[in-house]
Amino acid sequence: MTISSSLNAGVAGLNSNASRLASISDNIANASTYGYKRAVADFHSLVLNGGNGSYSAGGVRVTTNRLIDERGPLVTTSNSTDIAVGGSGMLPTTQVSALEDDSGGYPLTLMTTGSFRPDSEGVLRTETGMVLMGWPANTDGSIPTFPRDTVDGLEPVHINLNQFAGDPTTRIELGVNLPATATAAGENGDSLDMSIEYFGNLGTSQNLNISYVPTVPATGASNEWTMTIRDSASNDAVIGQYTLTFDDARGTGGTLASVTKISGGDYTASTGELALTVDGGPLVVKIGTLADPQGLTQLSDGFAPVSIVKDGSPVGNLSTVELDANGYMHAIYDIGFTRTIYQIPLVDVPNPNGLITLNNQSYQVSPDSGAFFLWDAGEGPTGDLVGYAREESATDIARELTNLITTQRAYSSNAKVIQTVDEMLQETTNIKR
């Protein structure tokens, strides 16, 4: 009956607009919730084909979706581990309850932003119990190769703010000028000495003691020196001795012409490096390639250590951690030493709006979302990671209030339809009187 179908359509309209009102209420309630994704109610018509050419009102049905791919604006904060995603991609997280699971598995959840701070055990987590996950770095700061289509390798990020660490010296670059006059006939042949501090594997301070002894000929100038390197950590044992010959030709005068090993590590002419071994392990000392004016030189009458560049540092206390745009988390120590400790990948799925919505602005992969893939931040379809930042709610209050007005009017109109149908049915029953 057409009148009864009108009543059903009106009831369907009331239910659909009530669902839309619920989504609007949710959006407005979360207007200040960081990382909140707006819910939308979409209406779809229902068409019923009646027999004998009659028409029946089908009414309307509603589906409510969350626009997870819609991003809110970013705002800056004062916490280095407040993290947001500047573009596509989501942070890999897990729930704090998973840390107590003896199986060692960490169920993957996804977030677009979070305020992560270390708890009593150093685990980076939010106040709501969401734990940030990443790939741990090797001791040298490199990131091993991990699978990109599984959570194997991902682990909760631990930050120990009371941690001490040292950085052993592995490389030294020398820029030293030796006096050309010291290799001339009649000179005294005195040794020229210098000491270079380096840091051992335990953060202790050691020294390379280097002496340069000129070869004094009977006549003319030899342009030749004997360089001897001793290691204080090995009781001043000689770890390398070399004969240095300098060029005196125009254009290349004063630069190295040859390096001959007497003892110790080899000299590599292509890189200008000496492969030494100190008490704690290998140590590369770069003296310059042949004819290189930036390495060891022999000019004029002055002994001058022009430039000494080295890596390594003494033991320092971890003071803070920071995240760069590519997702590398760096530990910064109070002595200025930095070390990469984790890489935070970004998770991408083919259909973000198909993710399952969980509490605390977190999401879970579903068949509708498609399989996930872990990208390096800034590569593929993903954006950059932003530290000292949070993503604000995607709710636009003005738009929601406008939708609230139209929803209220639509609800009232459907109620009016029901009232009208009721009056028509009343007229029908009055025919019997």
Predicted pLDDT at 433: 66
Taking a C-beta distance cutoff of 8 angstroms, is the pair 132, 124 a contact?
A: yes
Secondary structure letter of residue 98 according to DSSP: G
Residue with structure tokens 């990208």? 375
Taking a C-beta distance cutoff of 8 angstroms, is the pair 173, 308 a contact?
A: yes
pTM for the model stands at 0.76
Taking a C-beta distance cutoff of 8 angstroms, is the pair 385, 346 a contact?
A: yes
249 is written with which tokens?
A: 């030709």
Q: Which residues contact 417 (CB under 8 A, 6 or more apart)?
A: 6, 9, 10, 13
Burial class, 231, CB count within 10 angstroms (exposed 0-12 / middle 13-18 / buried 19+) = buried
Predicted pLDDT at 426: 87
Among 26-35, 133-142, 330-339, 393-402, name the one with the lowest average pLDDT.
330-339
Q: Is the pLDDT of residue 266 over 70?
A: yes
pLDDT, mean of residues 169-183? 96
* Band (50; pLDDT cuts 50, 70, 90): low
Domains of the chain and CATH, by start? 2-67+394-430 (no CATH), 74-166+316-391 (no CATH), 169-311 (2.60.98.20)
Residue with structure tokens 């579903």? 366
For the chain, give the percent of residues with pLDDT over 70: 97
pLDDT, mean of residues 155-167? 81
3-class SS of residue 35? coil
pLDDT, mean of residues 124-128? 95
Predicted pLDDT at 179: 96
pLDDT, mean of residues 225-240? 97
Alpha helices in 117-219 (DSSP H): none
Taking a C-beta distance cutoff of 8 angstroms, is the pair 400, 408 a contact?
A: no
Q: Of 102, 154, 105, 201, which Cα lies nearest the Cα of 327?
A: 154
Taking a C-beta distance cutoff of 8 angstroms, is the pair 238, 230 a contact?
A: yes
| Bridge pairing between strands 113-115 and 82-86 | antiparallel
Predicted pLDDT at 162: 65
Cα–Cα dist 103/107, whole Å? 11
Predicted pLDDT at 52: 66
Q: Is the pLDDT of residue 27 over 60?
A: yes
Q: What is the amino acid identity at position 326?
A: N
pLDDT tens for 338-357 read: 889 999 999 999 999 999 99
Predicted pLDDT at 362: 96
Cα–Cα dist 313/174, whole Å? 18
Predicted pLDDT at 285: 97
Q: Mean pLDDT of all residues in the chain?
A: 92
Which helix H or strand E contains 231, and what residues bound it?
strand 224-231
Q: Of 103, 158, 107, 162, which Cα lies nearest the Cα of 134?
A: 158
Q: Is the pLDDT of residue 53 over 80?
A: no
**CA 73 to chain CA mean position, Å:** 20
Q: Is the pLDDT of residue 1 over 70?
A: no
Query: Partners of 275 in the beta sheet?
Result: 284
Query: Partners of 229 in the beta sheet?
Result: 210, 240
pLDDT, mean of residues 176-194? 96
pLDDT tens for 392-409 read: 999 999 999 999 999 999
pLDDT tens for 371-399 read: 999 999 999 999 999 999 999 999 999 99
* Band (4; pLDDT cuts 50, 70, 90): confident
